Structure 1
């Protein structure tokens, strides 16, 4: 059974919030500047969210490793 598009979007968004916090923290530790860290975090979040969504949709079409319900 494939995931719905809505489920993929929710999974991508929730993961991205978590991961963006980590990117922001690391960027802040490197730069010491809140603004720069925020720009890096937001840029990474937008790009990676789109990539993750595409990745999820591709994998939702692959039956390998799934067990029937």
Structure 2
């Protein structure tokens, strides 16, 4: 089973990558650095928490994991 720290590290690094994509898209639509940053930051916070809990849920599902 994965440790909570590993799940948190995965969620955080993925979110940094994904937030930059959201920021670029938001900036291309709004043309505003401030608005794009607000959209990116709020999406990052919500999605980081959701991803962490999703990852923890899947750590309890044995489907697709082969025994050693």
TM-score, normalized by length of structure 1? 0.96
Aligned length: 68
> 1:46: which partner in 2?
45
Question: What CA distance in whole angstroms lies between the structure 2 residues aligned with 1:68 and 1:16?
Answer: 31
- What RMSD in Å do the two structures reach over aligned CA positions? 0.6
Aligned to 2:54: 55
Unpaired stretches in structure 2, ≥5 consecutive residues = none
Residue matched to 1:18: 17
Q: Structure 1: any 5+ residue segments left out of the alignment?
A: none
Q: Distance in 2 between matches of 1:40 and 1:67?
A: 40
What secondary structure is seen at the aligned counterpart in 1 of 2:65?
coil
- Any runs of at least 4 consecutive aligned residues in structure 1 with deviations exceeding 3 A, and if so which? none
TM-score (norm 2): 0.97
